[in-house]
Amino acid sequence: MKTLFEEVTLKNLKLRNRIVMAPMCMYSADLDGNANEWHYSHYETRSIGGAGLVIIEATAVESRGRISENDLGIWNDSHMDGLKTIVRKIKKHGAKAGIQLAHAGRKCVVKDESVIAASALHFDEADANYKLPEAMDLETIDEVVKAFGVGAERALKAGFDLIEIHGAHGYLINTFLSPLTNKRTDDYGYHNQYGTLFLRRIVEAVRNAWPSDKPLQIRVSASDYDAKGNTPEKIATALKTLSDLDIDAIDVSSGGVIPAGVRSYDGYQLKMAETVKGITGYKVIAGGRIKSVEMAEEVIKNERADFIFLGRQLLIDPYFPIKAAATLGVEIDYTPVQYKRWK
Question: In which element (H, E) is residue 83 found?
Answer: helix 80-91
Higher pLDDT, 342 or 322: 322
Q: Round to whole Å and give the CA distance between 153 and 51.
A: 25
Q: Round to whole Å and give the CA distance between 343 and 334.
A: 14
Q: Round to whole Å and give the CA distance between 258 and 26.
A: 22
Residue 33: Cβ within 10 Å count:
22
Residue 209: Cβ within 10 Å count:
17
Query: What is the pLDDT at residue 115?
Result: 98
Query: What is the pLDDT at residue 341?
Result: 78
Task: Give whole-number Cα distances, 234 to 101, 171, 223, 281, 301, in Å.
Answer: 24, 18, 9, 15, 27
pLDDT tens figures, 81-117: 999 999 999 999 999 999 999 999 999 999 999 999 9
CB 285 within 8 A of CB 249: yes
Phi, psi of 135, rounded to the nearest 5 degrees: -65, 130
pLDDT tens figures, 152-209: 999 999 999 999 999 999 999 999 999 999 999 999 999 999 999 999 999 999 999 9
Across 123-134, average pLDDT: 96
Interstrand relation of 216-221 and 249-253 (parallel, antiparallel or unpaired): parallel
Query: What is the pLDDT at residue 113?
Result: 97
CB 5 within 8 A of CB 334: no
CA dihedral 307, 312, 316, 321 (to 10 degrees): 0
Q: Which of 234, 67, 31 is nearest to 166 (CA)?
A: 67
16 confidence band (pLDDT: 50, 70, 90): very high
Residue 126: Cβ within 10 Å count:
7
Each domain of the chain, given as residue ranges in start order, spans 8-342
Q: Which of 180, 294, 179 is nearest to 237 (CA)?
A: 179
| pTM for the whole structure | 0.98
| Strand positions, DSSP E, the chain | 8-10, 13-15, 19-21, 53-60, 72-73, 96-102, 116-117, 134-135, 162-167, 216-221, 249-253, 283-286, 307-310
Reply yes or no on whether the pLDDT at 328 is more than 90: yes
Query: What is the pLDDT at residue 1?
Result: 66
Query: What is the pLDDT at residue 2?
Result: 83
pLDDT tens figures, 41-85: 999 999 999 999 999 999 999 999 999 999 999 999 999 999 999
CATH topology of domain 8-342: TIM Barrel (3.20.20)
Phi, psi of 13, rounded to the nearest 5 degrees: -95, 115
260 confidence band (pLDDT: 50, 70, 90): confident
Mean predicted lDDT score pLDDT of the chain = 97
At residue 10, the 3 state secondary structure works out as strand
Reply yes or no on whether the pLDDT at 263 is more than 90: no
Reply yes or no on whether the pLDDT at 343 is more than 70: no
Query: What is the pLDDT at residue 261?
Result: 78
Task: Give whole-number Cα distances, 53 to 60, 273, 341, in Å.
Answer: 20, 19, 25
